[in-house]
């Protein structure tokens, strides 16, 4: 078997293969993080071999199946630095069988649902005690040894108030956490209601994870996505193919995962999400009852948004046109990077009669044109680096 045919076993090897293929450029900060992720994977494998008492157990010690705490990783940095890419490489290669990779908000929505079910079971006498969080944590720990979170961020007070108790028990049970985030731990739940009650969780987090800042000098999403391929027209197989290529070059994945964002007592569905990028069809965003607040919520979670199959709009789909106007306003205001496939150039997307929409669409067309420019991308990058 040639060297090129040898199976890839480590994050460093897979990272090197991506560099060799020209998919990414080598970055010292990324390479260093890849090595740290490999070291964590090795610690997990060694600890689990010791617990199992396998035929190699004598190498690692046979005593007791109790797991010693293993420090995870909390990886933070600006958008587009490769945090999610590296975590996903690690997750794919991790030897742990009980592993879960999930968007943090989806995880917390699942936790809140389990807590509600546990409270009901306590009231009905099916669970002893009066703490619904403990059985939920125990169930998660039984299912999961390695938890990988994308987009670790805390906005909701209900989440903030349970995280300390939940993760105290998860960490005690030996669950190892790896997370990506746009903010350092000390900035979590910043300006949140009753934040003082949340601060012990931050100290707990720093006790059980190593905090790593990924400070690559380049925004790889922008480097690998040419400006002239951010607005694709006309619609058809060629546009679809190019958009697929841009998505893959940006995320490293052919498809993203479905994510549900809890918002104001309801849910916003994201058909495909991968790290800091999300992908929608026009119908997902503009033919469903979504408003400006929903679009701002989406823009707050993702630095790059893909919108496919935008049609030419007329009075017959006026409501969809108004939502499209609100969508572009929200993405523009939040400096979100937009990759779009459309039936026509921006100034030809509205073909209705003169009226309010005609006037408003002039602004939309202007913004769509600006969002393709080097100046907009630079402004978006500056806003991301300052937390704007």
Q: What is the pLDDT of residue 99?
A: 95
Distance CA 6, CA 370 (A): 47
**How many Cβ atoms are within 10 Å of 22's Cβ, its own excluded?**
7
Q: What is the pLDDT of residue 66?
A: 56
Helix (H, G, I), strand (E, B) or coil at 101: strand
Q: Domain spanning 3-213: which superfamily?
A: P-loop containing nucleotide triphosphate hydrolases (3.40.50.300)
Is the separation of the CB atoms in 70 and 176 below 8 Å?
A: yes
Q: What residue ranges of the chain have pLDDT lower than 70?
A: 1-7, 48-68, 79-80, 216-228, 354-355, 374-375, 377-388
Classify residue 330 by burial, with Cβ atoms within 10 Å: 0-12, 13-18, 19+: buried
pLDDT in tens, 129-157: 888 999 999 999 999 999 999 888 887 78
Q: What is the pLDDT of residue 240?
A: 93
Q: 60: which residues sit within 8 A by CB, 6+ positions away?
A: 46, 47, 49, 50
Is the separation of the CB atoms in 342 and 240 below 8 Å?
A: no
Report cis status (omega within 30 of 0) of the bond before 234: yes
Q: What is the pLDDT of residue 209?
A: 96
Distance CA 174, CA 68 (A): 7
**Per-domain residue ranges of the chain:** 3-213, 220-385
Using alpha carbons, select from 190, 193, 188, 192 the residue that is nearest to residue 203: 188
Q: What is the pLDDT of residue 328?
A: 93
């Amino acid at each position: 078997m040639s060297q090129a045919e040898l199976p890839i076993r480590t994050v460093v090897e897979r990272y090197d293969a991506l560099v060799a293929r020209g998919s990414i450029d080598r970055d010292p900060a990324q390479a260093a993080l890849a090595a740290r992720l490999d070291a964590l994977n090795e610690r997990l494998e060694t600890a689990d071999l010791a617990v199992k008492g396998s035929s190699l157990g004598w190498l690692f010690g046979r005593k007791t199946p109790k797991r010693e705490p293993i420090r995870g990783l909390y990886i933070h940095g600006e958008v587009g630095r490769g945090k999610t890419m590296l975590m996903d490489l690690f997750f794919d290669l991790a030897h742990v069988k009980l592993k879960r990779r999930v968007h943090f908000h989806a995880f917390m929505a699942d936790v809140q649902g389990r807590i509600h079910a546990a409270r009901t079971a306590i009231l009905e006498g099916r669970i002893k005690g009066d703490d619904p969080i403990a059985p939920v944590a125990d169930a998660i720990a039984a299912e999961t040894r390695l938890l990988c979170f994308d987009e670790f961020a805390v906005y909701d007070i209900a989440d903030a108030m349970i995280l300390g108790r939940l993760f105290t028990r998860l960490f005690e049970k030996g669950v190892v956490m790896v997370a990506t985030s746009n903010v350092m731990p000390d900035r979590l739940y910043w300006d949140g209601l009753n934040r003082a009650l949340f601060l012990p969780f931050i100290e707990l987090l720093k006790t059980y994870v190593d905090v790593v800042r990924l400070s690559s000098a380049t925004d790889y999403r922008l480097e690998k996505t040419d400006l002239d391929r951010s607005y694709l027209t006309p619609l058809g197989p060629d546009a679809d193919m190019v958009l697929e290529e841009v998505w893959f070059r940006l995320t490293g994945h052919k498809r993203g995962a479905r994510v549900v964002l809890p918002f104001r007592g309801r849910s916003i569905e994201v058909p495909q999400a991968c790290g800091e990028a999300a992908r929608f069809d026009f119908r997902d965003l503009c033919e469903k009852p979504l408003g400006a607040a929903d679009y701002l919520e989406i823009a707050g979670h993702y630095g790059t948004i893909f919108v496919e199959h935008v049609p030419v709009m007329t009075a017959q789909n006026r409501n969809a046109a108004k939502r499209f106007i609100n969508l572009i306003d929200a993405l523009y205001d939040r400096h979100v990077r937009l990759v779009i496939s459309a039936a026509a150039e921006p100034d030809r997307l509205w073909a209705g009669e003169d009226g309010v929409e005609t006037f408003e669409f002039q602004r939309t067309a202007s913004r769509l044109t600006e969002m393709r420019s080097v100046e907009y991308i630079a402004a978006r990058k500056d806003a991301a680096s300052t937390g704007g």
